[in-house]
Amino acid sequence: MTMRLKVFIGIISALSIFLFASFVRSDPLKDAVDSLFAQAEPDSLKEKLLLLGTDAIQYIFEYTGVSDKPEEKLAKDVIVSFGNDAIPEMLSQLRTENWMRMWVASDILVEIGDPLPLEDAVLKERREKVVSHLLYILEKIARPSSLRVFRHFAVSGNKSIASRAISALGTLGDTTDIRFVLKATRSGSPRVCRGAYSALGKFARRGAVPPELVGESVSCLVSGLGRRHYIERDVAVDALAAFGDDAVEYLEKYLNERNFYVRYNIVRVLEQIGTSGAFEVLTSLSEDEDWGVRWAVAEACANADFPNGELLLRRMLNVEESRFLRTRLSTLLTEGD
């Protein structure tokens, strides 16, 4: 091959690459979206962006984000306005494995609010992250049709997915589901237990726990207060607090539990409940053998603003032997004054 031919072929190749790159870059629809977002007044662009049609959604999505920038809010609002026509593109964004894109797409799907296409999609999905996001979205939308999906995944062999689905049962489930959740609290999987504790709290917040199951529910959650990992303990605390005074009457029998974490976290539950009934039980724990539990009682009196909290703090100070706790009690009383 002659030198002249080599040079000619090189020029042709370079020109081909340039033309191909120019062709890839020059998408008129993308250019239109970019041009509109480049304008100084984004609030006036919504109608113009909608006129570009559904094919523009993929390009509009590029301007979304997780901050409060005006263009990000505008982009999300426009996509939501497309309604169900935007769902296929949002589902594709959920499958990108990019956490920011997944969360933004999740928020948009929640705002669109149609669960049926998502229910069909999640039952066919195999990727754990995508299934978890779809379960989260369906729980946020909270339509009765999604209950079958939560029940389906609640028995999944994947513990993360099962935990998410079990937790979601608390948003829509009935008494049959509560019984299933109670069994799940005895699981050997910390993740499954966490989902079950969360579900019981959700049942309690919407007043869906039958009176005959309150005692068993409290008992299961108290077992969670002594779990090895703080995450399970924290979820159990929040769930118990959701039962309010219904839990207080059952908690009294656990005040002598040998496990420090159980007694300590009962204090946290009573602090969140914050009623006169909770304060009466808290008074009993002010004499606990462990100074860490007594410390928690002191903090609860200060934080929950119980009417007789200051009186209890002074009583504790009069008999307290721990130098560290006496100092803390004095500080709390001084701050109260």
Which domains, and CATH codes, for the chain? 45-114 (no CATH), 139-243 (1.25.10.10), 247-337 (1.25.10.10)
291-307 pLDDT, tens digit each: 999 999 999 998 888 88
**How far is Cα 232 from Cα 295, in angstroms, rounded to an integer?**
22
What's the one-letter identity of residue 106? S
pLDDT of residue 44: 75
Average pLDDT of span 161-184: 97
Query: CB-hemisphere CA count at 13 Å for 121?
Result: 24
pLDDT of residue 234: 96
pLDDT of residue 228: 86
Phi, psi angle pair for 141, to nearest 5°? -70, -40
Whether 152 shows a pLDDT value over 50: the answer reads: yes
Average pLDDT of span 105-133: 96
Whether 178 shows a pLDDT value over 70: the answer reads: yes
CA 168 to chain centre: 11
**How far is Cα 297 from Cα 179, in angstroms, rounded to an integer?**
33
pLDDT of residue 45: 86
The contacts of residue 212 (CB under 8 Å, 6+ apart) are none
pLDDT of residue 27: 82
Is 115 exposed, middle or buried, given 0-12, 13-18 or 19+ CB atoms closer than 10 A?
A: buried
DSSP state of 43: G
pLDDT of residue 18: 40
Question: Poorest-confidence range of 16-30, 185-199, 224-238?
Answer: 16-30
Whether 19 shows a pLDDT value over 70: the answer reads: no
pLDDT of residue 241: 97
